[in-house]
Amino acid sequence: MPPIFHNQVARRILLFSWIFCFPFVTPSKGQSIDTPAIIPRPVSMHLQPGNFILNDQTRYWLSDDSLRPDWEIFQQDILQATGFRLSPTSRLSHRNLIAIHILPQPDNRLGPEGYRLSVSAQQVELSAKTRAGIFYGLQTLLQLLPPQIESHEPVKLPAWSIPCVQIVDYPRFHWRGLMLDVSRHFFTKQEVEAYIDEMARFKFNVFHWHLSDDNGWRIEIKGLPRLTNVGAWRVSRTGDFGTFDPPQPGEPANDGGYYTQDDIREVVAYAAQRHITILPEIDVPAHSLALIAAYPSLSCTGLPYAVNPGSPFYRILDNVLCTGKDSTYLILDTIFAQIARLFPGPYIHVGGDEAYKGFWAQDPRDQAEMQQNGLHTLEELQGYFERRVEQIIIKHGKKMIGWDEILEGGLAPEAAVMSWRGIQGGIAAAQLHHDVVMSPWGHCYLDLYQGDPLVEPKTYGMLRLDSVYFYEPVPPGIDSSYILGIQGNLWAEHVPNLRHAEYMTWPRALAIAEVGWTPAAEKNWPDFIHRVEAEFPRFDAQEVKYATSMYQPIIQPVRDSLTAELEVKLRTQIPGLTIYYSFDGTNPDNFYPAYAHTPLRFPKGATELRVVSYRGNKQMSPVIVITKDALQKRL
């Protein structure tokens, strides 16, 4: 997937603030000023007069003791900020009550993950068909409380007030996922659990765990100790991933880490308590340099390689498993057998992307495999490999899913496809009646720039918030029953720590959450932006880092159609902002010229443009400085 693609494309806190306000948003057209700011937007929500006041006298009632784990997570969520540990009651008539129950009769409208939430001044009533629905309803209830509910420290408020509201809610798609790459940079078990916590707030239900790649093997496999003794460690490098020096002789490999099988079980259980299924990925046949560093005989060359630290290697080192060796399939059988036992979800992700086939073309064992099986192209050889791997995975009781390259040599009979290079792979798989998760890089890759590269941390490509929000996962003419859902992917070449992972994830993952949950007809961009802004104080209270890149001016160089002279168009993603600019080398503010939708031309002698956005008198973006030469290069 990414590092090679990065080469092809381009070489690919806010301060903690106590904002004492309710989670309401400024109204958009047709919206009341008091409309609660819920993300993802519920299917149906009707505001009523009044408020429910949560206090230390509030009681709760559970219809079934099986709901206690979901309640306890909610209780812990509110305890730190409020200090309230609520007591149970057996009396449904009790005032100041939160009543939670599983519906005794099926409600086909709600489905397996929907819920009903009714808040009056006397009582909160939450009902659903399943525990998952109850959990999601409790996440909505959290969002109805003031932002300070997310604080890790006690907060004194005049009242913990919940608006009276009637909500009926259920998801559009079954698969609502985020992927975290822990190979390019290792994240500890505690950091992974923190990321899962953040996902749970917004009703994501799949955590795709990218556990192996060229840059690190991250999971213990019994009987294959070199996977973690060797494959989990690389030499340390800092700077621009992809341009690092290769490992030097005698240099210690001390950067990395891995999860023990006990760690894996703990994270799986932690996610399951939050109704999140973990999708493990072992990326083969390519992206396997860490595996090959541990067991060199698995490649065509058999040469000893080090785990790659982020130095150039594509087409230089052999990072692809040899398809013509029985040992390849024996080791994969051992690996996938243990993966299947550790992860209770239905799928195992096998990667399958970006396999350079040049070493296969030169290897007599791979060529013999092609001849014996009537294969005419190297793409068909990969298809043969994928079908053999699928049989291993099926043998261990799981289904296979892979990146869309697994289509190229003939799709394995029961495989699902995750479409990343665009939507065409998803379309092709759905037309073949295979399940699809849509994850096109141009709409769902969270490691791309989200604002102007001049003021953003280095990465590659561009994915602004609006490009995520306006994505439609079901292509025209495709049977929607084959589209399982949507997934955002965070590749970690340029993401060295959890704080930056949060910055790259939020708020763009809020848009993915809404695309995956909310009916397409109910999506509303201005309303979504208001709700995103209402979420920022909650992130502040939770001490989660996020990006405010959506406020930045977008600078678009163009050429005049008659004179070919350089011109500059400016715009913003979100409504209600004004762009101010200067050509004189000084920083503009709201007393400078305002952009009026007419393309700008550089005055004689000017060499740079500076732009900034304001809402009223408040500066919303950093000043962005771009030279005339840089604009010419962008053309």
The structure's pTM equals: 0.94
Please tell me the distance from the alpha carbon of residue 283 to that of residue 294, in angstroms, as a whole number. Answer: 15
Amino acid at 59: R
Is 246 within the bounds of a domain? yes
Q: Are residues 280 and 241 in the same domain?
A: yes
Looking at the structure, tell me whether residues 481 and 565 fall in a common domain. Answer: no
Query: pLDDT at position 27, please?
Result: 36
In a domain, 18, yes or no: no
The average confidence (pLDDT) of the chain is: 94
Instruction: Say how far residue 494 (Cα) sits from the centre of its chain.
Output: 15
Judgement on whether residues 337 and 240 belong to the same structural domain of the protein = yes
For residue 123, report the phi and psi dihedrals to the nearest 5 degrees: -155, 145
Task: Return d(Cα 367, Cα 120) in angstroms, integer.
Answer: 71
- Whether 39 maps to a domain, the answer reads no
Average pLDDT over residues 405-417: 96
Q: Find the CATH number of the domain harbouring 566.
A: 2.60.40.10
Catalytic residue among 220, 354, 390, 567: 354
Whether 277 and 390 share a structural domain: yes
Domain that holds residue 55: 44-169
Q: Would you state the structure tokens that stand for residue 523, as one six-digit string?
A: 């999506």
Looking at the structure, tell me whether residues 164 and 187 fall in a common domain. no
Catalytic site residue 369? no
- Note the pLDDT tens digit of each residue in 434-462: 999 999 999 999 999 999 999 999 999 99
Please, how many CA atoms are within 13 Å of residue 94, restricted to the half-sphere of its CB? 18
- CATH code of the domain containing 149: 3.30.379.10
Alpha carbons 494 and 239: distance in angstroms, whole number: 9
Average pLDDT over residues 202-212: 98
Interval 358-398: pLDDT, tens = 999 999 999 999 999 999 999 999 999 999 999 999 999 99
Q: Which residue has the tokens 């994270």?
A: 267
Average of per-residue pLDDT across 144-160: 96
Res. 34 pLDDT band, cuts 50 70 90: low
Question: Does 35 map to a domain?
Answer: no
pLDDT at 11 over 70: no
Number of domains in the chain: 3
Last residue of a domain, one of 113, 139, 169: 169
Residue with the larger pLDDT of the pair 176 and 91: 176
Q: Are residues 418 and 431 in the same domain?
A: yes
pLDDT, one tens digit per residue, over 58-101 is 999 999 999 999 999 999 999 999 999 999 998 787 789 999 99
Other CB atoms within 10 A of residue 516 CB: 26
Q: At 107, is the pLDDT very low, low, confident or very high (cuts 50, 70, 90)?
A: confident
572 in the same domain as 536: no
Least confident interval from 25-34, 220-229, 331-340, 414-423: 25-34
Q: Are residues 243 and 165 in the same domain?
A: no
From 523, 542, 561, the end of a domain falls on: 542
At 29 the pLDDT is: 37
Give mean pLDDT, residues 194-218: 98
Instruction: Give me the residues paired with residue 566 across strands.
Output: 559
Judge whether 293 and 230 are in contact, CB under 8 Å. yes
**Dist CA 218 CA 433 (whole Å):** 34
Q: Are residues 157 and 181 in the same domain?
A: no
Residue 19 — very low, low, confident or very high, per pLDDT cuts 50/70/90? Answer: very low
Q: What is the maximal distance between C-alpha atoms in the chain?
A: 80
